[in-house]
Amino acid sequence: MQGTLDIEAARRAVAAATASLTGLAAQMFAVGNAELGPFFRQVDDLGRQVEAARVAILAEALARGVVAESDCPSVTAWVIQWAPSYRAGGAAQLVAVAQASRAVRNAALAAAVLGARVGVRNASVVLAEMDKLRPRLRDEALESVLDGFIQIATDHGPREIRALRDMLIATYGRQEEFQTRHDQLKAVVSLSQPFDDDGMAEYRLRLDPEGKEVLEAILGPLSAPRPTPTCSDLRSSDQRRGEALIEICRRAAAAAGAAPTTTKAAVFVTVDLADLQTRCGAGASLLTGQLLAPETIRRIACDASIIPVVLGSDSEVLDVGRARRLFTPGILRALWLRDKGCTIPGCGAPPFWADAHHLIHWVDGGPTSLTNGALLCGRHHTIAHQRGWTATATTSEVTWHL
C-alpha cells in the first residue's frame, strides 16, 4: 500500500511540475539575474530524474510483458505511442538502455542510469563500446573496464567515452589484439575521388593512426599562422591546413624522384623498452597522444625520425634516438642504386615510393648500413613487419626468404 501511495504522490508531483513549467518562457523576465543559474541547475536536475524515470518505466513495461501484449509492432513504436516527443528521435537509444538494464552484467550501468548519474545517450554509447570491446579484452578485465566507462560517462560525453577504446585495448586486450586492430585499420585507408562542389574539389580522406601522425607532423609546421609585421594571418585553420597539404605535394613533385636530403616527418613516441622488444602494449605520440602499436613503431622507425623515446621499468628515459639509426641520404642513394625499387619479387614500386627497411631491426641490435637495409614499398613494408619476413643482403642484391 505504501508503494502505491508513493507512486500516486510521484505522479501528482510530475503532473504539478508539468503544469508549473508550462508557459515558463513567457515568465522568465520575472527571474532575477542571480537566480537564472540556480534555476537552470534545478531544471537540469529535474531533466536527469525524468530521463531515469523513463528508463525505469520502460524496463518495467518490458519485464511485465506490457509491451509484448500491446498492439505496437516494436518496443520503439510503444515508446513513441506513449511519449510522442520521441518521434523526433532518441527512442532507439532509450530502448537499448532499458533492455540492457535488465542484464546482470550491466547491473552497475543500470544503477548509474536509474540513479540519474548517467544519461541515456552516454549509457547507449557505453553499451556500444562494451559490445565492440568485449571480444577483444581479457575476461577478467571486463568489470573494471565497465566501471571506468561509467566513471567517464558521469561527467563527460560520447567523445570522451569513445576515446578510451585504443587505451583499453592496449592495456587490457587479448594477446596482440592492439597490433591486430591497427593492422586491420591500415587496410581501410582511403582517399576518395574529388567531388566537384561549385568550383571546389572535395575529398574524403580516411587514415589509420600511423598515417594520421605522419600527416599531422608535416602539416603542423606548414599550417601555422604566418603573420607579417604589417598584417595578420586572417586565414582560417582549415584554409591553412588545405594550403599546407598542397605545399607538401608541390615539394614532393619538385623533388622529381631524387633521394630526400632530410629525414621524414619527425614524431616522438614514448614506449617502454620491454613493450618494444616483446611487441606488446603501445606507445604514445607526444604530438597528439595517439596510441601506436609496437610493431607499427618498429616499422616506421626504420625510415623516418619517428624515434621512440624508450623508457625503462621506472619510466626513466633510456634513449631518445640518434641520427645514425636513420638511413642517411648517402646510404639511401646506395639502396636506390642497388635495389632500384621495392625488393619483394614481382613488385614494381619505384625507389621514390619505397621505405628503407632494417633487415635486423635496430632495437634487436641491427646496424643502419647498406647490407642491413632493403627498399620496401609501403604495403610490403607493413606486411614484412606483420609476418616477420626475413632477408639477407649484400652490396649487390637482397634475397628474401619468403
Q: Give mean pLDDT, residues 329-338.
A: 83
- Spell out the residues 6+ positions from residue 207 whose beta carbon is closer than 8 angstroms to its own: 189, 215
Query: If you search the block for the grid coordinates 580522406, which residue do you land on?
Result: 205
Percent of the chain predicted with pLDDT > 70: 84
pLDDT of residue 110 exceeding 70, the answer is yes
Domain ranges in the chain are 37-174, 175-225+234-326, 327-402
Q: Which of 14-18, 141-145, 297-301, 356-360 has the lowest mean pLDDT?
A: 297-301
pLDDT at residue 287, rounded to an integer: 56
Q: Which of 237-241, 307-311, 385-389 has the lowest mean pLDDT?
A: 307-311
- Spell out the residues 6+ positions from residue 331 whose beta carbon is closer than 8 angstroms to its own: 356, 368, 369, 370, 373
Report the distance separating Cα 9 and Cα 162, nearest Å: 40
229-283, pLDDT tens digit by residue? 777 888 899 999 999 898 888 877 776 665 555 545 555 677 776 666 666 677 7
Q: Give mean pLDDT, residues 22-49.
A: 92
Q: Give mean pLDDT, residues 77-102.
A: 95
Give me the torsion for CA of 126, 132, 133, 138, rounded to 10°: 130
pLDDT at residue 267, rounded to an integer: 59
pTM beyond 0.85, yes or no: no
Report the distance separating Cα 74 and Cα 67, nearest Å: 8
pLDDT at residue 308, rounded to an integer: 46
Report the distance separating Cα 301 and Cα 310, nearest Å: 12
**If you average pLDDT over every residue of the chain, what do you get?**
84
- Percent of residues in the chain assigned helix, strand, coil, to nearest 5: 60, 10, 30
Predicted confidence band of residue 331 (pLDDT cuts 50, 70, 90): confident
Q: Reduced to 3 states, what is the DSSP secondary structure of residue 272?
A: strand
359 DSSP assignment:
S
Q: Reduced to 3 states, what is the DSSP secondary structure of residue 318?
A: strand
Longest Cα–Cα distance in the chain = 93
Report the distance separating Cα 287 and Cα 216, nearest Å: 8
In the numeric block, which cell numbers belong to residue 70?
500491446
Q: Give mean pLDDT, residues 140-145.
A: 94
Are the C-beta atoms of 223 and 244 separated by less than 8 Å?
yes
